[in-house]
Amino acid sequence: MKEENKILLKTFVSAGLIFALTMALYGYFAKDQFLVWKFIFHFLAFGITMGLVARINHRKKMKEEANKD
């Protein structure tokens, strides 16, 4: 597996899970009902966004290092 894909997946899972759990805890303390679809949406939406941002930043960093040499 390419390093870019590993970074994308790690960031996707970690950021998405942390954000979804945080939002679920916020809802719990605000006395909201826990909705699975909402948890999955938060996980996917935030995870995909952060994964793509991490991949773009990684590519930019690799290009800068290649130009440095």
pLDDT (tens digit per residue) in 23-65? 999 999 999 999 999 999 999 999 999 999 999 999 999 999 8
The radius of gyration computed from the CA coordinates of the chain, to the nearest angstrom, equals: 16
Whether the pLDDT of residue 69 is over 70: the answer is no
pLDDT band for position 1 (cuts 50, 70, 90): confident
Q: Which domain holds residue 56?
A: 3-68
Higher pLDDT, 69 or 21: 21
Cβ burial 27-63 (10 Å sphere, 16+ → b, else e)? eeeeeeeeeeeebeebbeebbeebbeebbeebeeeee
Domains: count for the chain: 1
Q: What is the pLDDT of residue 42?
A: 97
Supply the pTM of this predicted model. Answer: 0.82
